Amino acid sequence: MSINSVVSADTLESGAVRAGAGATWLGHPRGMFLVAFVEMWERFSYWGLVGLLVLFLTASTDTGGWGWESGPALQLYSWYAGLAFALPAVGAWIANTLVSERRCVAAGGTVILCGHLLMAVAHLSHPESGTNAAETAIFLSGLGSVLLGTGLLKPAISSMVAGLYPEGGARRDEGFTWFFVAIYVGAAFGAIIVGYLGERVSWHYGFGAAAVAMALGMAAYLLKQREWLGDIGTTVPGSEPADTRPLGRMDWQRIGVVGAQGIFTILYAAAFYQMFGMLTLYSRDRLDRVIGGFEVPATWLQTVNLWSFFVCVPLLSLAWRRLARRQRNPSASYKLALGIASLAVGYSVLVAAEINSATTLPSVLWLIAAYVLFGLGDSLVWANQISLTSKLAPLRYRPLLVGGWYVCIGIGTWLTSYIGRLAEHYSFQMVFTQLAVSCALTALALAAMTPWLKRYMHGAEESNDG
């Protein structure tokens, strides 16, 4: 899911929104499946790229990589991934005030496609001879293009999903569930296909596969958008009459809770997104990745948390539903604390791996177990935090505050390199121990604060007006 997924009530009630809700598939507007298809391929390309990036940068020049030290590679990754979460906040403003959502999606997807193509062709003519300034500039320009395109596409496409369900309610929630499924399917197969091609065949084939994926999504969108989406996303929401009611004391207190949750989210992201940085290098250089005679590509391990997410989400949804019927459903703050605690246990597993493998390489099964816990943490955090933020935010500030939540994820991701680089000076065991203890203490602090935070939510979690 992405920011700006909640559009204004005026927009949802307009005839322009209803115009795209004609034909349906499986009880949902077929336009929802079109935008989900585009987002699936966008996530395919993003996860494929981010999974390869640190491996490519640190690979020797003999294999076509750049031969960087781990520190600079982790730093570039953290800047890239951090901005990938933060820039959609700017894209949300553009889609809400300057350019229609449909145009943002078309422009963003095209720029992403061009970026992947630039990365695929950089120094392709002599991949084993290192890089020169021009080739480096082409690659980094491609990386920057993917960032800009992501900033434009993601908030607009999520807002269009909301616009397809003017009635709101459970049907819209189910529509977003389908949208989430597309996101995670694309991410999983992106890591598997792009990762395998990049690691085992050629880095350029990996980056090229990401470009092909984005081309498929954009071709479908450009061919079918008018027929399947009607007028949805063709107006600029900011042109609609705005709610000018001044914010009251309760509004500001709810916004304060959003800010407090954001601080804990930064800490969560800083630990979780080591998966694409330090933990990717750890899996490549430190683990025995052979299972049944087959060496598992390091990028494939990045999908374990996704498969865990697929399993955990329906089970947790069932549990929350049953607890809600007994009026015992935990607050989203408690769920965030549990998500951070899951990371603490995951890093504890890696500490145990190091302790029990002092003289041999640790088995990859240790990391798989840790990533299963990461997936559990993700299933406790993402949807619950976005939902809570949208409930706490005043209507006209929802896109801004949900966008701010993604900025917090971006800040946390940006911090990953500073944590990951500690492994250059200390042992992995020490860094894992520090992360496990930090996550455990953070989870305990948030759990202790939750009753106080709930008081300042003023019943937002229990009401249906959010």
**Is the CATH number of domain 249-458 1.10.10.60?**
no
Question: CA 31 from chain center: how many Å?
Answer: 23
The answer to whether 7-20+28-237 and 249-458 have equal CATH topology is yes
CA 295 – CA 343 distance, rounded (Å): 26
CA 61 – CA 358 distance, rounded (Å): 31
User: pLDDT tens digits for the chain (466 residues)?
Assistant: 343 333 333 343 344 344 444 577 777 888 999 999 999 999 999 999 999 999 999 998 888 888 999 999 999 999 999 999 999 888 888 887 888 889 999 999 999 999 999 999 886 654 455 567 888 899 999 999 999 999 999 888 887 887 888 766 567 767 777 888 888 899 999 999 999 999 999 998 999 999 999 999 999 999 999 999 988 888 876 555 556 678 899 999 999 999 999 999 999 999 999 999 999 999 999 999 999 999 999 999 999 999 999 899 889 988 988 988 888 889 999 999 999 999 999 999 999 999 998 778 999 999 999 999 999 999 999 878 887 887 888 877 777 787 888 899 999 999 999 999 998 888 999 999 999 999 999 999 999 999 999 999 998 887 544 3
- For residue 159, what pLDDT is reported? 79
Domain covering 7-20+28-237, topology? Growth Hormone; Chain: A; (1.20.1250)
Q: Are 4 and 159 in contact (CB under 8 A)?
A: yes
CA 261 – CA 250 distance, rounded (Å): 17
CA 190 – CA 46 distance, rounded (Å): 8
Q: Quote the tokens at residue 202.
A: 């050629």
CA 422 – CA 418 distance, rounded (Å): 7
Q: Quote the tokens at residue 442.
A: 């953070």
What pLDDT, in 10s, does the model give residues 130-157?
567 888 899 999 999 999 999 999 888 8
CA 220 – CA 422 distance, rounded (Å): 45
- For residue 341, what pLDDT is reported? 98
CA 105 – CA 151 distance, rounded (Å): 10
Taking alpha carbons only, the member of 202, 187, 49 closest to residue 115 is: 49
H or E element that contains 198: none
- Provide the residue ranges of all domains of the chain, joining segments of one domain with +: 7-20+28-237, 249-458
Helix segments in 197-232, DSSP class H? 203-229
Place of tokens 């701010």: 404
b/e sequence 367-405, b meaning 16+ C-beta within 10 Å: bbbbbbbbbbbbbbbbbbbbbbbbbbbbbebbbbbbbbb
How many other C-beta atoms are found inside a 10 Å radius of the C-beta of residue 75?
A: 19
The pair phi, psi for residue 27, each rounded to 5°, is 80, 5
